[in-house]
Structure 1
Amino acid sequence: MKKKFSKLFTSLCLILVAALLIQPATASAEEDLFYTYTYDYWGIERESPDAYAMNKVITTNTFGIGNLNSAEGMFVKDNQLFICDTLNNRIIQLSYENDNYSLVKVVTELNNNGKMEPISLPYDIFVTDDNEWYIADYGNERIVYTDDSQNVIGAIYKPEDEETIEADFKFKPKKLVVDAAKRIFVQAENVNKGFMEFEYDGEFVGYIGAADVQFDFIDYFYKLISTKEQREQMEAFVPTEYSNISLDADGFIYATLSTFEDENAASAKPVRRLNAKGTDILIRNGYYEPVGDVQYGSGGGYEGPSKFIDVAVLDNECYYCLDMTRGRIFGYDFQGNMLYAFGGIGYRQGNFKFPVAIENLGDSLLVLDKELGTITQMTLTTYGKLINDALNTYKKGEYDISADYWEQVLKLNGNYDLAYIGIGRSLLRKDQFVEAMEYFKLKFDYKNYSKAYKLYRKEWVEDNITYVFIILVVLLVVVFIKNTVKKIRREVSEE
């Protein structure tokens, strides 16, 4: 009896020890989980392999310069990272090499012809190919540009334009980009007419890309039947402000919009691509408009649609939108197809508390967190790189190689609709219309299916026009002979 009890006690101890050993490993695995998903044709959320994985979290305190304080913006040029440490009134430059960051310099003041002028509340920075710095010097109510040694070259203050600028207007620049012609486009506070455009010499050109007016039909109805006094008390229908601005490799402006009513989320066009006239030319050929989450609730204390606070554009015209509602990143290809979404609100690595800016650095994405004072670096996984390679080779016209990459993607994720569509697009480009139609039909891509069908019908007609013509001629001859025979028989019978 004692022997049996001893064996039972020993077994229980071993089970307990095993459980203690397994538990931490399980918790660690859960902590490392980086949830990535996309949406299918039916709007159902589908989990997918991670396209990006956590690399590191950067804090400026590790460089001996203290932590960030409500940083509002950042910019990447080559391997250089520029951070607008807003409440600390400084700009920090870091260099990235061999997966490590090093401090280049900290700028708190600028040299204006020998006079040192302090930066005040910098919100954003843009650095050109010739290393000129353009700073949204919010506190000083100006855009200031300098050389690489921070000698002031020029500055832009409140435009003196009585026709378009109100007398009590305060120039508070928050975001900016500079194109190849040195035109400066600015998103300024309390400006709802679009982006302000300036020439290099500071001349105010006007506004570009005014956002659409957002209004509620019920409010509009009440305005129609209200008295003048009641209408004056109601909020006017005015265009909304953009939340951020970015520039792609071809010089087109990408703009994000976050100030719209929740019920208008599907039609608000929260990310746009503007040409020189300010017209939105963003392609939207996906299952759904590029609006972030298709389905959303109020879980975790966060409710409402995705609202984009920034956008980063890659050289292949894929773009990543940063959502301020749930801290997620939404990737889209050049056709507006959703690639994947990941991230979230929280303290776990890979999540954010108050994300305000996103940039791409090589194969990585960087996200600036205003509340935590950190920059999170996420790097492409094998799965994410295969998707990028498939898109890149397609853009280069290497359709066979692109299809091969999509096949590899399907081996890792058989439910990835875009891989089937990608193979179909490659087949379409190779004039294999019937095969392309099969892939498009499989994933309900009716736009591309219709395109393939029209091309297939055109090809069929061109290939068979001779036979069709011969058949028509034969039919006409047969009809002619038949009618002639009938006529002869009728004449004979009459005689």
Structure 2
Amino acid sequence: MRVRKLGVWLLLIVMLISSTMNVYAEEANQSYLYGPNNFVKAPVAAEPGRNIDHTTMGTTSLKKPSDLYATNEYLYIVDTGNNRILKLDEDYKLVKEYTEYEVKGVKTAFASPEGVYVDEQDQLFVADTNNNRIVKLSPQGDVIALFEKPQSKMLPTDFNYLPTKVVCDEAGRIFVCVKGFNMGLIELDRQGEFVQLLGASKVTYSITDAIWRLFSTKEQQKRMAAFVPAEYNNISVDADGFVYATTGTMSQNNKEGMKFVRKLNARGDDVLRRMDYDSVCGDLEFSNTGSIKGASQIVDCLTLSDGVYAILDQKRGRVFVYDSSGVMLFIFGELGQTEGTMTSPSSLVYFNNHFLVLDGVKNKIVSFNLTDYGRTILEACHYREKNELVQEEAAWQKVYAMNNNHPVIMREMGKIAYHERDMELAMYYFEQGEDQEGYSKAFQFYRRELINQYFTPVALSIIGLLILYMIYGMYKKYWCKKEKVVKKQGPFAYAFYVIFRPLDGFWDLKHEKRGSVKVAAGLMVALGGVFIIQSLCTSFIFNKVRIEDYNFMFDLLKAYAPLILWTGSTWCVSTLMDGEGSYKDIIMATGYSLTPMLIILPCVTLCSNFLIFDEGVLCTFFISVAYLWVGILLIASVMQTHNYSLKKTILVSLISLLVIVIILFILLLCIALMQEILAFVVDLKTEIVNRL
């Protein structure tokens, strides 16, 4: 009976998880955008057009095609499974087929080629993967040059040269992406001689990895030491000669060391601009359970004009388009078996005013036509790069009429209002677009206008109040003489004495009963309120919390979790180390120690609304003072509450912090274990459903 009940409960849990995942998938397939805090719905930017297969081209069936390249007049397809390169015209009709090349009278067939690049003279650079070389061909298919395996001491001796992608810049430099090679891109000169390794990434470990390493066995530590950087899987070059390289899926063991897309300069430095909330990685929100889980798998990067570029996610069949600042402009595409969907997209180009996506499983090309919404966004980006403000404003106004939720639109409208000196309107748009820097610039001018307008009446009012206060003081001094009555400070007012004279104050709290547990508890409760006020009332320049997305439970957790951990760990440690204070004494001392934060944080919150971005260091300074002050008071409270020496106080405090770290580690371990169990249950359910 119990087993049956347990099975029913497990089935209900799995059904609940499955229903949640289905809702997520339905939302994910809609047209959407990512803002700083969440994703928002957006109009469709590109619609599926015609499907282009071998019948349209006038050739035999494709087999595992892997790459596309487009010039102004021709489209090139790397048909890997058939060992050939196809050249199509603007009507997608076959113009020429490259299957082999001849060197000194000996013909060699392509062996699973995976990449092609075409220069301005229509000369082809083919990554002949299994022949271990780059082949440079004329438009007629004659061999111009063969670039064999490069020789250099920088390359491993057992280096297996399997070139998959190749591009060239205007200077004639050749960049090669090699399968199974994680030391970066290989740069060659015009003659195919080795120059350098470009953009090699470094392996970095997260804090979690470092903690796991402390508790790992020697065998586990060896496996962690074997973590290597991810290899590049595709490359492209823009009009300015910058190389864009993609890395596929980010390793869970190396989240900080790799990026999905890099923009490499001549030194190999990544100069790609990214928004603080958008790391140019495809989907920012995704499920970690189900048949399609985890982060995006980026397989191609397409550079367009005006600094715009697009990346292709093979895992979910989506194209993400970004501007030169790394802001996501729009998203289109999805997986499926119907017309206009993809199964395994492998390459992306823009040809004949259409986005073309190559499907390596369906063996055809899916075209996407820009809608008015998508086309107008690209026009606005063009006018912005050309600094044509009038046309840009008109374009953004048109986009705004179609979608007033787009963060990019809000920022661009703010810039236009800023140039027109309408600072109040600019501040509104910048706030809606989550542009703190732009808001700060507009607020600086707006603040100056307010000061110029109200300085004289405000200054005169302050002077008048000071004069009245002085007159009132003189009146009390000379006409209202009374005997001074010394009042003993109550438990609440005594908090101000404690924070300035902590040693005497904490001693009196316990031994002279000057404090109150109720007051201490009230101060602790007030801390949660202060954190909530700080989140809601801090200036937008220093805070991006939206009221509609705000959850006060996070602030309460941030306020009370450290207090619970500190009081609990201190009580445990002091009990074992002959401390004289009870848990009640610890609660009272800890509550009174929070007074500096209760005074300083609200003041900083208020002042933040009068400061600009560059003056934020003042807020940081006073917040740091508040935390440091509270830390000193907590140490003093341990010393006086338990009657410890300074040396023993420091020891007890350090041990208490260590206990907190251990508790947090155990909690994280339990959470990770629960996630693994949840993922196992979902995968088990998926497997059962698939088998049925």
TM-score range, shorter chain: 0.7 to 0.9
Q: 2:235 — aligned with what? A: 245
Candidates 100, 113, 128, aligned match of 1:122: 113
Inter-partner Cα distance in structure 1 for 2:257 and 2:50 = 37
Inter-partner Cα distance in structure 1 for 2:139 and 2:255 = 42
- Tell whether the 8 Å contact from 2:245 to 2:263 is kept in structure 1 after alignment: yes
Q: Which has the higher contact order (CA 8 A, sep 6+)?
A: 1
Alignment of 1:72-471 (within 5 A): 72-96=66-90, 100-161=91-152, 163-221=153-211, 223=213, 231-232=221-222, 234-262=224-252, 268-285=258-275, 287-297=277-287, 301-429=291-419, 432-454=422-444
Inter-partner Cα distance in structure 2 for 1:112 and 1:194 = 30
Local SS of the residue matching 2:92: strand
Sort the Cα spacing of 1:404 and 1:286 in 2 relative to 1 into closer, same or farther, 3 A: farther
Question: What amino acid is aligned across from residue 72 of structure 2 in structure 1?
Answer: D
CA positional deviation for 1:80: 0.8
Structure 1 residue 35 corresponds to structure 2 residue 35: no
Inter-partner Cα distance in structure 1 for 2:393 and 2:104 = 58
CA positional deviation for 1:389: 1.0
- The superposition leaves residues 441-465 of structure 1 with CA deviations (integer Å, 9 ceiling, x where unpaired) of 23322122124345667x879x98x
- Tell whether the 8 Å contact from 2:182 to 2:200 is kept in structure 1 after alignment: yes
Sort the Cα spacing of 1:267 and 1:118 in 2 relative to 1 into closer, same or farther, 3 A: closer
Inter-partner Cα distance in structure 1 for 2:224 and 2:371 = 52
Where do 5+ consecutive residues of structure 1 fail to align? Answer: 1-33, 476-495
CA positional deviation for 1:115: 2.9
Inter-partner Cα distance in structure 2 for 1:64 and 1:172 = 31
Local SS of the residue matching 1:255: strand
CA positional deviation for 1:339: 1.1
- The superposition leaves residues 244-266 of structure 1 with CA deviations (integer Å, 9 ceiling, x where unpaired) of 11111111111112242348668
CA positional deviation for 1:227: 7.5
Question: What amino acid is aligned across from residue 38 of structure 1 in structure 2?
Answer: L
- Tell whether the 8 Å contact from 1:265 to 1:291 is kept in structure 2 after alignment: no
Local SS of the residue matching 2:139: coil
Question: What amino acid is aligned across from residue 148 of structure 2 in structure 1?
Answer: Y
- Tell whether the 8 Å contact from 1:304 to 1:325 is kept in structure 2 after alignment: no
Question: What amino acid is aligned across from residue 250 of structure 1 in structure 2?
Answer: D
Local SS of the residue matching 1:379: strand
- Tell whether the 8 Å contact from 1:83 to 1:91 is kept in structure 2 after alignment: yes
Structure 1 residue 69 corresponds to structure 2 residue 63: yes
Q: 1:58 — aligned with what? A: 52
Inter-partner Cα distance in structure 1 for 2:443 and 2:254 = 35
- Tell whether the 8 Å contact from 1:286 to 1:337 is kept in structure 2 after alignment: no
- Tell whether the 8 Å contact from 1:133 to 1:148 is kept in structure 2 after alignment: yes
Alignment of 1:13-24 (within 5 A): none
Local SS of the residue matching 1:352: coil
Sort the Cα spacing of 1:223 and 1:42 in 2 relative to 1 into closer, same or farther, 3 A: closer
Inter-partner Cα distance in structure 1 for 2:254 and 2:292 = 18
Inter-partner Cα distance in structure 1 for 2:268 and 2:421 = 35
Q: Is the strand fraction higher in 1 or 2?
A: 1
* RMSD after superposition: 2.8
Q: Is the helix fraction higher in 1 or 2?
A: 2
- Tell whether the 8 Å contact from 1:70 to 1:371 is kept in structure 2 after alignment: yes
Question: What amino acid is aligned across from residue 56 of structure 2 in structure 1?
Answer: T
Structure 1 residue 49 corresponds to structure 2 residue 43: yes
Inter-partner Cα distance in structure 2 for 1:424 and 1:196 = 43
Inter-partner Cα distance in structure 1 for 2:94 and 2:445 = 56
Inter-partner Cα distance in structure 2 for 1:201 and 1:456 = 59
Inter-partner Cα distance in structure 2 for 1:445 and 1:167 = 50
Question: What amino acid is aligned across from residue 125 of structure 2 in structure 1?
Answer: Y
- Tell whether the 8 Å contact from 1:212 to 1:240 is kept in structure 2 after alignment: no
- The superposition leaves residues 308-342 of structure 1 with CA deviations (integer Å, 9 ceiling, x where unpaired) of 11111111111111112211111111111111222
CA positional deviation for 1:190: 1.8
- The superposition leaves residues 264-292 of structure 1 with CA deviations (integer Å, 9 ceiling, x where unpaired) of 66884311211111111111136422222
Inter-partner Cα distance in structure 2 for 1:39 and 1:267 = 24
Sort the Cα spacing of 1:369 and 1:55 in 2 relative to 1 into closer, same or farther, 3 A: same
- The superposition leaves residues 409-437 of structure 1 with CA deviations (integer Å, 9 ceiling, x where unpaired) of 12222322321211112333455544322
- Tell whether the 8 Å contact from 1:74 to 1:359 is kept in structure 2 after alignment: yes
Inter-partner Cα distance in structure 1 for 2:397 and 2:48 = 26
Question: What amino acid is aligned across from residue 192 of structure 1 in structure 2?
Answer: N
Higher-Rg structure is 2
- The superposition leaves residues 41-62 of structure 1 with CA deviations (integer Å, 9 ceiling, x where unpaired) of 321x322211111121111233
Inter-partner Cα distance in structure 1 for 2:224 and 2:262 = 29
Between 1:202-211 and 1:218-227, the stretch displaced more is: 218-227
Local SS of the residue matching 1:301: coil
Between 1:299-308 and 1:324-333, the stretch displaced more is: 299-308
Give me the identity figure in percent: 35
Local SS of the residue matching 2:281: coil
Question: What amino acid is aligned across from residue 206 of structure 1 in structure 2?
Answer: Q
Sort the Cα spacing of 1:176 and 1:456 in 2 relative to 1 into closer, same or farther, 3 A: farther
Local SS of the residue matching 1:297: coil
Local SS of the residue matching 2:167: strand
- The superposition leaves residues 457-476 of structure 1 with CA deviations (integer Å, 9 ceiling, x where unpaired) of 7x879x98xx99xx9xxx9x
Question: What amino acid is aligned across from residue 36 of structure 1 in structure 2?
Answer: S
Moved over 3 A (4+): 61-64, 214-235, 262-268, 427-435, 451-457
Count of residues paired in the alignment: 429
- The superposition leaves residues 95-138 of structure 1 with CA deviations (integer Å, 9 ceiling, x where unpaired) of 11xxx321101110113244322111110000000121101000
Sort the Cα spacing of 1:222 and 1:37 in 2 relative to 1 into closer, same or farther, 3 A: closer
Inter-partner Cα distance in structure 1 for 2:338 and 2:301 = 23
